Chain A
Amino acid sequence: METLITILTGVLVSVATYLILSRSLIRVVLGTAVLSHAAHLLIMTMGGLKTGGVPILGGEDGEAYVDALPQALILTSIVISFAVTAMSLVLAYRTYQATGTDKLNEMRGIKHE
């Protein structure tokens, strides 16, 4: 199971790398979003998968729980990546409006005013 998820993480990272290296601004933003999801999956996997029950109060006594910390960590980092993605979408949109292009190579050479 861990191996499978690790491979999936790798696939996500390669997709994200491809997107970030492209010239379109919106693809770069999407790439960063995919990249952060790859990191979340990796944190999840590092805590160990399917080693016990759901870590919620009120389960059966003596039941083994999975480590709850990685879940708390990725919840936090999902919130953060949500904020960052939102921020970068707005910024990309404003950049597109101001420069009239979303191609990174066409933005080269804008002078300091």
Chain B
Amino acid sequence: MNNLLVMPMAIPVLAGILLIFLRPYVKAQRWISFFVMIANIGISIYLLNWIQTDGVQRLDFGGWQPPFGILFVADSFSVILVLTTSIVTAICLLYAFSSVEKSYENMFFYSFVNFLVAGVNGSFLTGDLFNLYVCFEVMLLASYVLIALGGRKVQLRESMKYLVINILSSWFFLIAIAYLYGTLGTLNMAHLSERIAESGQTPLLTVISIVFLTVFALKSGLLLYFWLPGSYSVPATAVSALFGALLTKVGIYVMIRTFTLLFYHEQQITHLLIGILAGLTLIGGSIGAIAYKDIRQIVAYNVIIAVGFILVGLAVATPEALEGSIYYLMHDMIVKALLFLLAGTMIIVTGETRIDYMSGLIRNYPLFGWIFFIVMLSLAGVPPLSGFIGKVLVGQGAVNSGSYILLALAFISSIFVLYSLLRVFLNCFWGETIISEEDEIPMKKGWLIPCVLLTAGTVILGLAAEPLAIYVQDAANTLMNPQIYIDAVLND
């Protein structure tokens, strides 16, 4: 029995429910949520090593054999992402302990963080398209609540937009599922892959794949990112860090999964389209990142650039490029969480959101300033930090397949990332300090420790690229050979 597979989703759900009963006991809520994430880290490390020895694992719910029942499938790719999710969430929770207002904590904040993580992990692990939709909705419902928590006017307005756009994309998802079921008569992903391979990817199936692409592009912010900067800049800092780190990544994960497992036969159509969208996203994100002076907008546009970059790897679809995408996904989850935390902390200590009103922060908070510097280098891809290896591998893949335009766009966008963050660094950290000794808000340990931990994360991920390579190579190998996945699910 592989019941361990469901734990990354089931434990947070159970914890989230229990926390509703513990409403008055905020301390207990905090530590229970934190230990749930620690437990998830342990479980996913164990699963990851298990997969290396015994291959891709699956769990049939209620004992229903595939393709009839719902199932969870764990391969290296999904478990790597579950692991990173758990680490990032644990650290964001640490930040939330000292920054989130008491009134939020009493309004089931930790319950909804747990439900969010359950939805994210469920989306990573599921092996059934409809179950994926359900996990998406669990995640989205939790995110609707988290984004509106606090109830400021601007929050309510942005959450209303976020809600409507997500209902629309869920609708497209349902429509695509309906068409796919009408065409192939199954929704189990391995079974779908087998049937598509048998019948060949007919034009009808390619059209359905484009509908799926639209859905996931909306969720991940691939070109259709117009909703993202607004809604990611309104919630509490810890929440927006979680959103920036996790939500778009789920969309990217699903896109990589469907276009390597199901719709990989007509690459000259689908992957070309993904390539074009990724290129446009890189351009749009770069313009946005240097156009705004509100630090939250700058950070949100950096998320969009990363989405474009990771999907360049999918568009190229060589083994190296996919490995690069996986590395970059892990890197980006850690670094984007850190970037959102830093931006939020800067806003708290200065009380300003525009970068031209902040100055000289490094005099007041030296360690904090240097952390920002490291993040900047990591995002720009300077070795030995974690952004480097992903960029090199994606670049190598693009060179091998001759996609020079995408290659150029990807690396020019890195320069824009560097420029946009350097601008923040020079404006906010250099120069005359605007905070006098008396007014200085002391940097709480609870703010600094999560930032230090995440910085350590990016350094370690960069240095440990070699030992991690076996897992990432296995993940890319499974993505490149759908037969491994199909065998694990259908043929025992």
Chain A residues proximal to chain B, CB less than 8 Å: 20, 25, 28, 32, 35-36, 38-40, 42-43, 45-47, 69-70, 73, 76-77, 80, 83-84, 87-88, 91-92, 94-95, 98-99, 107, 110-113
Contact = CB atoms under 8 A, between A and B. Distances in A.
Contacts of A91: 144, 148, 156, 159-160, 163
Contacts of B42: none
B174 interface: yes
Query: Which of B137, B152, B234 lies at the interface centre, i.e. has the most chain A CB atoms within 10 A of its CB?
Result: B137
A47 B181 contact: yes
B164 A32 contact: yes
Contacts of B134: 76, 80
A23 to B, nearest CB: 13
A95 B170 CA distance: 23
Interface in B177-192: 177-179, 181-182, 187
Contact of B141 (A35, A36, A84, A107): A84
Q: Is the interface of A mostly helix, strand, loop or mixed?
A: helix
Contact of B164 (A28, A43, A76): A28
Nearest to A39: B174
Given A32-B168, A80-B134, 14 more contacts: A20-B164, A35-B167, A38-B171, A39-B178, A42-B174, A43-B174, A43-B177, A73-B177, A83-B141, A87-B163, A91-B163, A98-B153, A98-B156, A113-B152
Contact of B178 (A36, A42, A94, A98): A42
Given A88-B163, A91-B159, A46 B154 contact: no
23 contacts: A28-B164, A32-B167, A36-B170, A36-B171, A38-B171, A39-B171, A42-B175, A46-B178, A46-B179, A46-B181, A47-B181, A69-B181, A73-B177, A83-B141, A84-B141, A87-B141, A87-B163, A95-B160, A111-B154, A112-B154, A112-B234, A112-B353, A113-B152
Interface in B136-178: 137, 140-141, 144-145, 148, 151-154, 156-157, 159-160, 163-164, 167-168, 170-171, 174-175, 177-178
Contacts of A95: 156-157, 160
B69 to A, nearest CB: 11
B411 interface: no
Contacts of A45: 178, 182
Given A32-B164, A88-B167, A99-B156, A73 B130 contact: yes
Nearest to B163: A88
B29 interface: no
Contacts of A40: 174
Nearest to A41: B178
Interface residues of B, number: 35
Nearest to B130: A73
B114 interface: no
Contact of A94 (B151, B164, B353): B151
Contact of B156 (A80, A94, A113): A94
A103 B171 CA distance: 24
B17 to A, nearest CB: 15
Nearest to A2: B182
Contact of A36 (B151, B167, B177, B234): B167
B318 interface: no
Contact of A39 (B175, B187, B234): B175
9 closest A-B pairs by CB: A46-B182, A39-B174, A95-B156, A43-B178, A32-B167, A46-B178, A42-B178, A80-B137, A110-B153
A51 B148 CA distance: 46
A110 B178 CA distance: 40
A40 B167 CA distance: 14
A28 B218 CA distance: 19
A91 B233 CA distance: 18
A48 to B, nearest CB: 8
B430 interface: no
A98 B158 CA distance: 13
A91 B149 CA distance: 10
Contacts of B152: 98, 113
Query: Which of B140, B177, B234 lies at the interface centre, i.e. has the most chain A CB atoms within 10 A of its CB?
Result: B177
Contacts of B292: none
